[in-house]
Chains A and B, each alone.
Chain A
Amino acid sequence: MSAAWAMVRHRFASFAGTFVAVFLGVAVVSGSATLYLSSQPQAPARYDQAPVLVTPPNAETGDTRDQQAWTAAEASALAARLGSLPGVMAAVPDPWFYVQRLEAGRATGDDQAALIDGHPWSAATLGAYRLTDGRAPKAKGEVVIGTDVSATATARGGTAPAAAAAGTTASVAAGSGPRGSAVTAGTTVEVLTATGPETWQVTGTVDGPGFYVTDGEAARRASGVRVIGLTVTGDVQKVVDAAAAEVGSSGVVRSGAERDALEPGSITRVRWIGAQLLIALVSLGAFATVFVVSSTCALSAAQRRRELGLLRAVGATPGQVRRMMYAETSLVALLAGLIGAPAGAAAAPLLGDAMVGIGLEPAGFTVTWQPTALIGSVLLGLFVALAGVTAATRRASRIPPLDALREAAADPRAMTPARWVMGPLCAIAGGALLAGMPTFPLEMRSSAGLGAAMFLLCAAALLSPVLIVPLVRTVARPWRGTATGMLVREGTLTGVRRVASTAAPVLATVGLTVLLAGTVATIEVAAGIDETAKYPAADVLVPDGTPGLSAAAVAAQGAEPALTTRLLITHGDTTTGGYATGRGDGLVLDQFTASELGSKAGDVVTVRFADGARAELPVDAVEEEASIPQDLVRRHDPDALTSMIVLKDTAVPTPGARSVPIRDFVMEEIEEEGRLVDLFLLALIGLTAGYTAIAVGNTLLMATTARRVEFQALRLAGAGTGQVLRVVSGEALLAVSVGAALGGLVAVISLAGVRAAVEDEIGRDIDLVIPWGSTAAVTALCAALALTAAAFPVLRAARGRS
């Protein structure tokens, strides 16, 4: 209906809140979705010439860190069979291993990427890498190095989240060390492997990344084989079918997009962390948009009561009023979305670069054009806006035509039946989520906590009209004697809906801030105590820009290595994966794994090692930490590293390791994690606060503008602009305090639930930390905005008169 367009044009001020909310929401969603969709897993470039990749069967544990391997023997047998298939030019196993270049005694490059940087020379063919100089490696200790290594190692740094710390040390090393020490055929190169520092003879260079040693060397150093690449001629699909028939259940044949599953875990993990932020941004953006749109629409519908009544009087059916409001909102949302979506997509590359910089996307990540993200976000914006306006629409359509004749001064009933039904329902849903928290799997708990908080916040917002009256009476009690106090109190009590509309966004911001920051602070405190409690006061030897400690680094301290390996353990029908440390002389399971498997001491379980070998082992005991005899780890996971050791004496300097006091190390770890968490917090709280800022400002601006007549009357009764301002400010502050109080209350309840879950997890009491600082900051921000938005129309009116 064209009337909708006329309404939107005429009353754009009252649609501005919806417009801005949808614009921002769509921009956030389209930007995040563009980034998310751009960040798809990609098969490593070194398999570019292998359209078909064969991998061992999936571990089926639901954890990407669990990967089965073939033993070297299995792999070469399978490769031989695959190689003889028609259309297959070569079937090459790629047993990778850890190798990192040392420059001036320091490890360079990205520590996580280094875990898979060593390859057999034959695998170079999978990427069609050719020698640019020299010859292939022929003997132990010979290596062909990739372009990236020969140029400068530091250029590749900074992908993994942990690389921020590693990256700095690496760049320091590059800055002080002999930079650009060009490695060419015929020279030597210092490297670090799982064994320790080694000096390799460079026999050639290749036009691709990595270190290439003889096939035998690679097989000896690698922990099993996790991929066989096929180079083919002719029809790829035929090869895929033939290979699948040949491999059967002992592997998975991948072509096309399935190859992308081979992306290194470290890169996938970086993408995953980034994706968490993006997902959180999208869901919070959508939630905030619904919240803001519904509160502004409700208020605007209440303000337009007379106009809507008039429409009803001149013959608009309730359905027509509803459709008109939907049409108005659709128009505004579509307009906002059509501007917001490209804006978000345009901003995505900037955010993308920032995310690469802080390790939330892998290096080399580029944002691509994602029409789905654009269209999807516009549609989502439309949908979310319509969802937000539904309640207001239902209410507006019930406005009796007689309302056109009434001066709608006093607020109509603030509590609607819908609020009475939905409010308690939300409260129950939130409460149930909180109560059920300990039964959820660990990785779902934080989402459950956030979900519970959202439900409780909705409940508080829906029920706020009931709570406002007693709250206001209490808060305003000290000022009841003054004229301003009386006006503020009565104005608030007769305008409960207006107060509720203003308080709702404050409630959401303060609530989410307290909850998010509080959860993090509580867990940080709990984790901090936990980590220090584990070690006595001493120094520890920890990796220095490397993914772990080499055997030599540990041996140099005269200590026993504590190799960490990942095992796949099967008991009955259940298989699960887990880390185990090389120690003792039997298999010890940790409690978590044991309960998952339903096994106890004395049971015999099947253990699959990193190299693909399997063994039936009896469970010796179930303890805090899992362990398995050291020699088994050495034999089946030659590439295993030690994560850290506690030092008895002063550390002997050794490449790729450094010694720090335990406390400092724990703090570093916490800070490292904290840096990322803080970033998440900043993004999420920033988004929420930004949104509610719009909502608070918009609501008050609308409300105060609509109350001009009332203020006129006040002025006629002898109130100066100053007094009117005081009344308006008083009301705004009162609304903010009510919102902050309710939000804080809800958050503290949710926080208590989160704490209970954490206590349950670590089996010890922890302190509930309430983040007073950020709470105060956010509340102050809301108050400042509320004051500005409320005072602006009054001041403008005053200036217009004089």
Chain B
Amino acid sequence: MTNNATPAVELRAATRTYGTGERAVTALDRVDARFEPGTFTAVMGPSGSGKSTLLHCGAGLDRLTGGEVIIDGVPVGGLSERALTRLRRSRVGFVFQAFNLVPALTAAQNVALPLRLAGRRPQPGAVAGMLAEVGLTGREGHRPSELSGGQQQRVAIARALVSRPAVLFADEPTGSLDAASGAAVLSLLRAAVDRHRQTIVMVTHDPVAAATADRVLFLADGRVVGELPGSVGAERIALHTARLEGATAVAR
């Protein structure tokens, strides 16, 4: 890991509050975080800890109320909606928990969508190659309704990776899958990091999923409260999480 390289995503004193006055909720509270190229980070924390907000803001889906987000060297704050969309299109990929695919389009069309939206014609074989990489050869013409949940998620990963983004954000990608499909999805993500030096930031509450990552960031009450290497294993991660949840429960 080289510290002088541009981080894929960097958050500086990132703050996000919802609502105003007494009802204001601070979801992110001056968070600093760097996600270096080629790393796989899991973000964990009790519900309401701000992990989803971190992901949304880091990905440019949501705007900060204070601080700065820099995606691949570009500060997001001053960008217009259009410029931000373009940045997202070229540098950021997404995989959500569910509802990732446009139901009207086939698997291949869904994968090609970001390229088409960018006005680029996909290279011959690029889409098929991407689908092959996620193990879906022969499913190009299927619509989402004709695919299983795990297959849909793999199409979503193929789509997220097709434009070779600087960073891929995954929001509970295994949240609605059975164990076997979840494991397949995780190994796909791991492979993308190992083989293509893909940067991945994944929000999860599953310690097993988190253990696949290089490092695990723990969030509570909108702040980063800890960090573990993924290699410590699912059990220690689970223990840490449990302690955090206990602490927040007591604090409340």
Contact = CB atoms under 8 A, between A and B. Distances in A.
Nearest to B55: A405
Nearest to B156: A314
A318 interface: yes
Given A1-B116, A315-B114, A315-B118, A9 B104 contact: yes
Contacts of A306: 99
Given A306-B99, A314-B159, A3 B113 contact: yes
- Chain A interface, >50% SS class: helix
A723 interface: no
A315 B104 contact: no
Nearest to A4: B104
Given A6-B109, A402-B56, A404-B99, A316 B117 contact: yes
B96 A6 contact: no
B88 interface: yes
Contact of A307 (B62, B94, B102, B117): B102
A10 B143 CA distance: 10
B177 interface: no
Nearest to B165: A315
Contact of B89 (A6, A11, A314, A405): A314
A312 interface: yes
Contact of A313 (B94, B103, B105): B94
A401 interface: yes
Contact of B86 (A10, A315, A405): A315
A316 B85 contact: yes
Interface residues on A, range: 20 to 34
Contacts of B61: 313, 400-402
B85 A317 contact: yes
B82 interface: yes
Given A318-B81, A404-B96, A405-B96, A310 B102 contact: yes
Contact of B105 (A3, A318, A320, A400): A3
A637 to B, nearest CB: 74
A10 B56 contact: no
B181 interface: no
Contacts of A11: 104
Contacts of B114: 314-315
B171 interface: yes
A7 interface: yes
Contacts of A307: 102-103
A319 B171 CA distance: 27
A310 B100 contact: yes
Nearest to B81: A318
Contacts of A319: 82
Interface string A89-105: 00000000000000000
A2 to B, nearest CB: 8
Contacts of B99: 306, 310, 404
B88 A315 contact: yes
Interface residues of B, number: 28
B109 A3 contact: yes
B103 A10 contact: yes
B143 to A, nearest CB: 8
B53 to A, nearest CB: 10
A10 B105 CA distance: 8
Interface in A1-50: 1, 3, 6-7, 9-11
Interface string B90-108: 1000101001111111000
A329 to B, nearest CB: 15
Contact of B104 (A6, A313, A401, A402): A6
B117 A315 contact: yes
A351 interface: no
A572 B176 CA distance: 89
A311 B102 contact: yes
A312 B85 contact: yes
A7 B106 CA distance: 11
A12 to B, nearest CB: 10
B94 A314 contact: yes
Interface in A309-333: 310-320
B201 to A, nearest CB: 15
A102 B56 CA distance: 92
A495 to B, nearest CB: 21
B94 A317 contact: no
B1 to A, nearest CB: 29
A400 B56 CA distance: 12
A400 B171 CA distance: 17
A744 B211 CA distance: 66
Contacts of A402: 56, 61-62
Contacts of A320: 117
Contacts of A318: 81-82, 85
A270 B82 CA distance: 58
A312 B88 CA distance: 10
Nearest to B143: A10
A423 B99 CA distance: 36
Contacts of A404: 96, 99
Nearest to A319: B82
A10 B82 contact: no
Nearest to A320: B117
A316 B116 CA distance: 9
A9 B89 CA distance: 26
A140 to B, nearest CB: 85
Contacts of B103: 10, 307
A667 B86 CA distance: 74
A314 B96 contact: no
A10 B109 CA distance: 13
Contacts of B104: 3, 6-7, 9-11
A669 to B, nearest CB: 61
16 contacts: A1-B116, A3-B104, A3-B105, A9-B104, A10-B104, A11-B104, A306-B99, A310-B102, A314-B159, A315-B88, A315-B89, A315-B117, A316-B85, A317-B82, A320-B117, A401-B88
Q: Which 5 A-B pairs have the closest CB atoms?
A: A315-B89, A10-B104, A317-B85, A315-B117, A7-B104
Interface of A: 1, 3, 6-7, 9-11, 306-307, 310-320, 400-402, 404-405
Given A311-B113, A401-B88, A402-B61, 8 more contacts: A3-B109, A6-B105, A10-B143, A11-B104, A310-B100, A314-B117, A318-B81, A402-B62
